[in-house]
Amino acid sequence: MGIDMKLNELTIKQAIEKLDAGEITAVDLARACLDRIKEVDDKIKACLTVCEKEAIEEAKKADERRAKGEKGGLLGIPYIAKDIIMTKGVRTTAASKILENYIAPYDATIIKKLREAGAVLLGKANLDEFAHGGSTENSAFGPTHNPWDQELVPGGSSGGSGAAVAAEMCIFSLGTDTGGSVRCPASFCGVVGLKPTYGRSSRFGLISMTSSTDVPGAITKTAEDAALVLQAIAGHDKYDASTPEEAVPDYGEELKNSPLLRGVAEGRGVLAGLKIGLPIEYYGEGLSPAVRAALEEAKKKFIELGTELKDISLPHSKYAVPVYYIITPSEISSNLARFDGIKYGFSEPEAQNLLEVYSKSRGKGFGREAKRRIMLGTYALSAGYRDAYYLQAQKVRTKIKDEMDAALREVDVILTPTQPTVAYKIGSFTSDPLQMYLEDIFVIPASLAGLPAMSLPCGFDAGLPIGLQLIGARFDESKLFQVGCQYQKATDWHLKKPSL
Amino acid sequence: MLSKEEVKKVAALARLDLSEEEIDVLTPQLANILGFIDQLKEVDTTNTEPTAQVTGLSDVFRADELENWDKSEVAAALSQSPAGLEGNQIKVKKVLEQD
């Protein structure tokens, strides 16, 4: 670490060491992040709400807890949460006009867990409205700008969360991933993005999008930090019946005593014996030359680390985008039915009767993409079309899931690009939504199958970050951390930062 | 091919007020997306069960017991109803019209 390194630039691990050693306080750390937000967020627009006063209060409490002997974990670590996650007493908008003035009455389970761990909430991050999109351009409050080049998108839908970490406004952030929404911005912003196994971290208190694939995850500066965040937010929740009572391993312990590291003792590469699958369908046409070259470099690095690379085939991958764009809008049309202008949110004051309260509040409150998805989903679920679209999509989903599960019995992890290209200019796909949907081709399959996946920085194209994706077996995030950590020990892509 | 009339019908089902202009933009966009999705028909799914969830859990039960929620959180939730409250009830416009 350079001596001129600022506190907001620390990783979780570095910050905890300094806090535990008494070199810095949680208040110092929170102030450094809040100062950074003030310094750069006019340009980046990552934050929709900054809760300065509350953050300093929480940081003081963390310092008091540490003074009483508590240590480690996330005690005193400042973070930003995607604004689709409920934070008690703090405005929670989902980046939608329909929730512009909504104050969350309770905490999401993951926020509650972070509060108990002593993490410090700095503010709420911008996103595509209701997490519908891959660029953060669909926010009702304007786009977030990529810290590497402000004319470009940061990716999405957790674009504010990705940009905030890349621009060092916080030590980590929370996002949600339904079809790549944590991994895509991580790739475009040059940071680490973890989508846990579906059900590993509770959805209670997320504003629902696609209930069968939504999962909250972490955006961090290193793979090791992602393990620390998951440790704090993972586990069964009685308020989310889709979280199994699956034991959460001690990820730190498993990183230290990784069975994967046996190669060292035998004088082989550190990851000797690890099998990595390369799905041929992910390396075909449509991959930009720079991304392809970066993945080739990554493969060489993994061979140096002792792994065995193996070509595999996932022939139904090509159907992942069409399956996703039936299942997702269908679940959205149902989940967004709760925004009716009656219980909370925007309500059209001129409405003459009950029906007008519904239709006019929704017509004025929702943005373009939310409307498009409500329409698509309502159509796909309506009489006469349900079997042709929704049921067939659910069956093809089974095929995608089964073939990925089968592949992960043959290999330990699957290695793919995260996105086919680097970040693109704001406005590139405004008039062609289908083209934008196709950008998610590599991230959607793991969402449909419910598998854990992580994006790690692996190179640059003309100064813009490229990400690789590791996909693991269900509930085996630990292996992703072990592989990710070793890759980051052998490379320095994650240490490169944008100049702002 | 999706018609404007079908789009209007779907919008009515979705309780979504759309302008003529929005319908003009949405109609070809939805047709284009549905055309793309049509490729799913080429997949043979005979004997394939649909997947609705992926955790392997089935029939998750809990006791049907009333749980008291934090009163201040209940009040905070209720206080956001746009038309205000009457006691602890959210106000809505008349559902049945009088003759």
Burial status of residue A418 (CB atoms within 10 A of its CB: 0-12, 13-18, 19 or more): buried
- Give residue-wise pLDDT tens across range B8-41: 999 999 999 999 999 999 999 999 999 999 999 9
Which residues in chain B have their CB less than 8 angstroms from residue A340's CB?
15
- Written as tens digits, the pLDDT of chain A (500 aa) is 455 679 999 999 999 999 999 999 999 999 999 999 999 999 999 999 999 999 999 999 999 999 999 998 999 999 999 999 999 999 999 999 999 999 999 999 999 999 999 999 999 999 999 999 999 999 999 999 999 999 999 999 999 999 999 999 999 999 999 999 999 999 999 999 999 999 999 999 999 999 999 999 999 999 999 999 999 999 999 999 999 999 999 999 999 887 666 666 676 788 988 999 999 999 998 899 999 999 999 999 999 999 999 999 999 999 999 999 999 999 999 999 999 999 999 999 999 999 999 999 999 999 999 999 999 999 999 988 888 899 999 999 999 999 999 999 999 999 999 999 999 999 999 888 898 899 999 999 999 999 999 999 999 999 999 999 999 999 999 999 999 999 999 999 999 999 99
In CATH, the number for domain B4-42 is 1.10.20
Enzyme catalytic residues of A? 82, 157, 181
The mean pLDDT of B50-58, rounded to a whole number, is 88
Cβ separation B82–A449 shorter than 8 A: no
Which segments of A45-129 does DSSP mark as H helices, in order?
52-67, 109-117
Write down the domain spans for chain B: 4-42
- HSE of A479, CA atoms in CB hemisphere, 13 A: 23
Determine which of A354, A375, A437, A447 to mutate to test the interface with B (most B C-beta atoms within 10 Å). Answer: A375
Cβ separation B54–A474 shorter than 8 A: yes
The amino acid that residue A278 corresponds to is: L
Does some domain include residue A75?
yes
Cβ separation A342–B26 shorter than 8 A: no
Pairing of strands A413-417, A308-312: unpaired
The enclosing domain of A45 has a CATH number of: 3.90.1300.10
How many Å apart are CA A419 and CA A179, to the nearest integer? Answer: 12
Which residues in chain B have their CB less than 8 angstroms from residue A376's CB?
30, 33-34
Number of structural domains (chain A) is 1
Does some domain include residue A49?
yes
Determine which of A395, A399, A401, A441 to mutate to test the interface with B (most B C-beta atoms within 10 Å). Answer: A395
Contacts of A172 (CB under 8 A, 6+ apart): A12, A77, A79, A165, A218, A219, A220, A221, A225, A229
- What Cα–Cα distance (Å) separates residue A500 from each residue in A31, A40, A41, A267? 19, 7, 10, 43
Per the structure block, which two tokens stand in for B89?
A: 């009830």
Residue A470, SS3 per DSSP: strand
Does some domain include residue A448?
no
Tell me which residue in A241, A362, A391 faces B16 most closely, judged by beta carbons.
A362
> Does the pLDDT of residue B87 top 70, yes or no?
yes
CB A198 within 8 A of CB A242: yes
How many Å apart are CA B55 and CA A362, to the nearest integer? Answer: 33
CA distance B18 to chain A (A): 6
> Does the pLDDT of residue B98 top 80, yes or no?
no
Residue-number span of the structural domain to which A180 is assigned: 7-258
